[in-house]
């Protein structure tokens, strides 16, 4: 799918890393040719008046568990990094190569290679061959690699390949089969629970190993005050350590599980209100690098079960943008930072020339009405399953148009 005709979008609020710039953006041959207050349409261009709305980079969703194109397009997502927890796992070059081609042309899927064979945490997979097949990173999947020797070898190998390692941060010896965070709510509900410290212990070990190996390490989700403290300290020492979070963990606390509602059964489990506030502070001070949807649609066969038996996961692609814009309205971050978290930073971790409105970058654009109100309704979702923890919640921020490589793909 090639851009047949140049496109110029005028009268827009352009979301750039430096802030909002009022002007126009011109795209040609699939890339951004020019942007700024002095840009005008040329003869032969398709022209669109943004009417003062935002033009932002298409979102880059780092760490999804399913490719769900209608949901991604609804949420303004033009690229998604797919976790290796598939059936079968992405632990062979042939599987990685297939996934790397699967979403094109209107959605680019960047596979994350399984760190170990079968994601079992024992034997390293064929990482170099999977990189050649299209892997943009290496991931441990939903599991923590308990064997420190295996994890060190993984990080050393990844450093040689210059690939980021996307790690799960939960000490499996402590977390076990827990479905909740230890505390008052879990005790009242009688749910199997693990201490929040399971996250901090995993993060501390992995940061130490990453420093030893000289590797780039990204924690897909950090959700506790202790975890943020460790990441903050690693950054202060100059280590290439980054972390992400999903909207559920900065919007909800474990109070959301009080009625045993399985749509709030996610992994890591929802934390205390103090940890939720720590997450918002970590987003504000730059400790958190990425906000991702954690998109993991689960059908009724997985969710209409007792809380402890239900599968973890949420359908998050459609609500990622609106929930992140909540942080802007609450003055936790500004608009430019919102798109650093959801587009620029994940693209940089994956090593792709996208996620930024800048000349020469991919023309992946979203036209957004940041103030458009809507009600999140699971019955009307585009996703393959409706397991959102935000059902019936009011939201603001809608994607009115989406372009992939300068070609319109949605709205």
Kindly report the three-state secondary structure assignment for every residue of 314-379.
ECCCCCHHHHHHHHHHCCCCCHHHHHHHHHHHHHHHHCCCCCCCCCCCECCEEEEEEEEEEECCHH
Q: Name the strand (E) or helix (H) holding 232.
A: helix 225-236
CA distance 403 to 354: 12
Predicted local confidence at residue 104, as pLDDT: 86
**CA-to-CA distance for 329 and 312, rounded, in angstroms?**
29
Average pLDDT over residues 245-253: 98
**368 phi-psi bin (left φ>0, alpha ψ -120 to 50, beta other):** beta
* Residue in 95, 148, 137 with CA at minimum distance from that of residue 115: 137
Q: Is the pLDDT of residue 19 over 80?
A: yes
Instruction: Residue 384: count other Cβ atoms within 10 Å of its Cβ.
Output: 16
Sign for the pseudo-dihedral over CA of 277, 283, 287, 291:
positive
Residue 307 — φ and ψ, nearest 5°?
A: -50, -45
- Cα angle vertex 242, ends 241, 246, to 5°? 155
Q: Give the model's pLDDT for residue 88.
A: 96
How far apart (Å, rounded) are the C-alpha atoms in residues 60 and 343? 5
CB 7 within 8 A of CB 50: no
pLDDT for 270-315, tens place per residue? 999 999 999 999 999 999 999 999 999 999 999 999 999 999 999 9
Provide mean pLDDT across the span 34-41: 95
- Rounded mean pLDDT of 29-51? 95
**Of all residues in the chain, what percent carry a pLDDT higher than 70?**
100
Q: What is the pLDDT of the chain when averaged over all its residues?
A: 96
Rounded CA separation 357/15 (Å): 7
Give one word for 275, left, alpha or beta, with left for phi > 0 and alpha for psi -120 to 50. alpha
Region of 94 on the Ramachandran plot (φ > 0 left; ψ -120 to 50 alpha; else beta): alpha
The share of the chain scoring above pLDDT 90, in percent, equals: 96
pLDDT category at 97 given cuts 50, 70, 90 is very high
Tokens of 287: 């400790």
> What is the model's pLDDT at position 103?
84
- pLDDT at position 275 is 98
Q: Please state, in angstroms and rounded to a whole number, the distance separating the CA atoms of residues 101 and 89.
A: 16
Place of tokens 């076990």: 176
Instruction: State the CB neighbour count (10 A cutoff) for residue 295.
Output: 30
How far apart are the C-alpha atoms of 3 and 249, rounded to whole Å? Answer: 39
> CA-CA distance, 107 to 101, in Å (whole number)?
10
How many Å apart are CA 70 and CA 386, to the nearest integer?
A: 13
* pLDDT band of 2, cuts 50, 70, 90: confident
Residue closest to 389 by CA, chosen among 290, 254, 284: 254
Q: What is the mean pLDDT of residues 340-349?
A: 98
Q: What is the pLDDT of residues 368-410, one digit of tens each?
A: 999 999 999 999 998 889 999 999 999 999 999 999 999 999 8
d(C-alpha 376, C-alpha 319), whole Å: 8
407 within 8 A of 1, measured Cβ to Cβ: yes
Output the pLDDT for position 293. Answer: 98
Domains of the chain: 59-350 (3.20.20.140)
Residue owning tokens 């998050």: 316
Q: What is the pLDDT of residue 328?
A: 98
Instruction: Kindly state the average pLDDT of the residues 204-211.
Output: 98
Contacts of 211 by beta carbon, 8 Å cutoff, 6+ apart:
234, 237, 239
**Mean pLDDT (whole number) for 175-192:** 96
C-alpha distance across the termini of the chain, in Å: 18
């Amino acid at each position: 799918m090639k851009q047949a005709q140049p496109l110029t979008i005028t009268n827009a609020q352009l979301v750039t890393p430096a802030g909002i710039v009022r002007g126009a953006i011109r795209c040609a041959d699939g890339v951004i040719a020019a942007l700024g207050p002095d840009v005008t349409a040329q003869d032969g261009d398709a022209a669109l008046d943004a009417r003062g709305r935002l033009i932002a980079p298409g979102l880059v969703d780092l760490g999804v568990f399913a490719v769900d194109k209608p949901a991604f397009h609804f949420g303004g997502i033009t690229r998604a990094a797919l976790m290796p927890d598939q059936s079968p796992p992405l632990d062979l070059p042939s599987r990685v190569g297939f996934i790397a081609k699967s979403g094109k042309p209107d959605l680019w899927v960047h596979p994350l290679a399984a760190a170990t064979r079968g994601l079992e945490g024992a034997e390293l997979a064929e990482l170099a061959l999977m990189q050649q097949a299209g892997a943009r990173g290496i991931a441990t999947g939903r599991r923590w690699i308990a064997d420190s020797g295996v994890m060190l070898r993984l990080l050393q190998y990844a450093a040689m390949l210059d690939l980021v390692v996307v790690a799960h941060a939960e000490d499996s010896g402590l977390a076990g089969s827990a479905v909740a965070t230890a505390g008052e709510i879990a005790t009242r509900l009688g749910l199997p629970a693990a201490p929040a410290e399971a996250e901090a212990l995993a993060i501390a070990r992995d940061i130490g190993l990453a420093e030893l190996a000289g590797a780039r390490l990204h924690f897909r989700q950090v959700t506790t005050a202790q975890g943020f403290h460790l990441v903050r300290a690693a950054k202060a020492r100059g280590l290439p350590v980054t972390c992400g979070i999903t909207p559920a963990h900065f919007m909800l606390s474990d109070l959301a599980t009080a009625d045993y509602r399985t749509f709030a059964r996610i992994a890591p489990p929802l934390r205390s209100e103090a940890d939720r506030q720590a997450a918002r502070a970590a987003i504000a001070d730059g400790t958190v690098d990425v906000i991702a949807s954690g998109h993991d649609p689960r059908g009724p066969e997985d969710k209409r079960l007792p809380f402890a038996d239900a599968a973890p996961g949420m359908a998050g692609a459609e609500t990622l943008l609106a929930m992140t814009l909540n942080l802007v309205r609450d003055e936790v971050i500004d608009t430019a930072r919102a798109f650093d978290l959801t587009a620029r930073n994940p693209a940089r971790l994956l090593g792709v020339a996208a996620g930024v409105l800048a000349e020469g970058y991919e023309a992946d654009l979203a036209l957004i009405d940041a103030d458009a109100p809507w009600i999140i309704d699971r019955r009307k979702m585009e996703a393959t399953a409706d397991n959102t923890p935000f059902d019936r919640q009011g939201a603001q921020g809608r994607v009115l148009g989406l372009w992939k490589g300068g070609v319109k793909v949605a709205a």
